[in-house]
Each structure stands twice: as structure tokens, then as C-alpha cells.
Amino acid sequence: MTLNIRVGHGFDVHPFAEGRKLILGGVDIPHQRGLAGHSDADVLYHALCDALLGAAGLGDIGHHFPDSDMQYKDADSARFVAATVSALSERGWTVGNVDVTVIAQEPKIAPHVAAMRERLAGLLLVDQSAVNIKATTTERLGYVGRKEGIAAHAVALISRRPG
């Protein structure tokens, strides 16, 4: 029996780096440091790609967009989300809903959530009500609590396209 719905989970983490923009959920967030990475290091988009790819049984973001490939150097991670949605669509899947948690001691994420949801809904081809983004801290524990970086968890539900 083949299920018509699937769930995937994704996780990503990047350390802070000087001289880089902080991009989360496709939004440029004012902060003194950005995140280190081969692309724009958008942990929210990266975790979400892993959740979507995992739900469809298509591996992970590193397989599809390897950091050894120079075409992805400093790439806008929206490109990864759009390509992932396209790969799902080619296989008959559509996004049902997504839920993402950003884990950061700093900066405050809440003021940027509405812009992130709007941008992400457009990339996922869903209504904004199908996109949830929230943030938490680690109460100053661990690498996030020491302000060494930012992490994100994502869960995605996909379903077979009707017809």
C-alpha cells in the first residue's frame, strides 16, 4: 500500500561569521554577524529542504546541492527551496503544510516572521496559513546559547496531487 501523505523532518545549523549578511527564511535580518556557509547559509530554508526531500524519499540537501559545487557558492537558498518543490511536483507530490522552529539566542526572530511566511508560502506554492515559523532560544545553553550560531528544525507534510 502506498500512502498518499508523508511527513519529513529536517535540521540544519550554521556558525556565526563576521562579514556576512544574516539571511533567515529569505529575509535579510539586521545583525552584526551572518552565518558561515557555502551558500547564503539560510538554516531555515536548508532545514525545510531536508524535511521536504526526506518526506518524498529523495535524500537530503547535500545530495542535491553539494557544497563542493561552485554553482552554489553564495547562492540564494530560495533557489534550493524552489528546486525542491519542483522535484516533488515532478513526482506527483504537493506541499500540505510546513512547521519550522528557528533556534537562536540572538537576534530576535519574531519581528521578521510575517515576511518569512509570505516569502516561503510563495516558494512552496501554498497559502500562508500552511506555513508556520516560530523561534526559541536554548536559555543560554550550548552553542546556540553561547551565541556561536543558529539552528533550525523543520517538519513538512506532503501529499499526492489529486488526479
> What digits encode the pLDDT tens for the residues 56-83?
999 999 999 988 877 788 889 999 999 9
Would the annotation count 138 as a binding residue? yes
Residue 84 assigned ligand-binding role: no
What integer pLDDT is reported at residue 145 of this predicted model?
94
At 57, is the secondary structure helix, strand, or coil?
Answer: coil
Residue 2 labeled ligand binder:
no
Does 13 carry a binding-site annotation?
A: yes
Q: Check the annotation: does 66 bind a ligand.
A: yes
pLDDT at position 163: 66
| 46 assigned binding-site residue | yes
Per-residue pLDDT reduced to its tens digit, 92-143: 999 999 999 999 999 999 999 999 999 999 999 999 999 999 999 999 999 9
Q: Which residue has the higher pLDDT, 70 or 33?
A: 33
Burial of 57 (0-12, 13-18, 19+ CB in 10 A): exposed
pLDDT exceeds 80 at position 87 = yes
CATH class of the structural domain 4-160: alpha beta
Q: Is 94 annotated for ligand binding?
A: no
Residues ≥6 apart with Cβ < 8 Å to 27:
112, 115, 116, 119
Q: Report the pLDDT value the prediction gives residue 3, as an integer from 0 to 100.
A: 73
Residue 77 annotated as part of some ligand binding site: no
CA distance 77 to 41: 7
Amino acid code (one letter) for 63: H
Torsion angle of the four alpha carbons 72, 34, 117, 3, in this order, in degrees rounded to the nearest 10: 50
The stretch 144-161 carries a mean pLDDT of 96
Q: Give me the residue spans of the domains in the chain.
A: 4-160
Residue 84, H or E segment: helix 78-90
Whole-angstrom distance, CA of residue 21 vs CA of residue 59? 28
Q: 64 labelled as ligand-binding? A: no
Q: Look at residue 96 in the predicted model and tell me its pLDDT.
A: 97
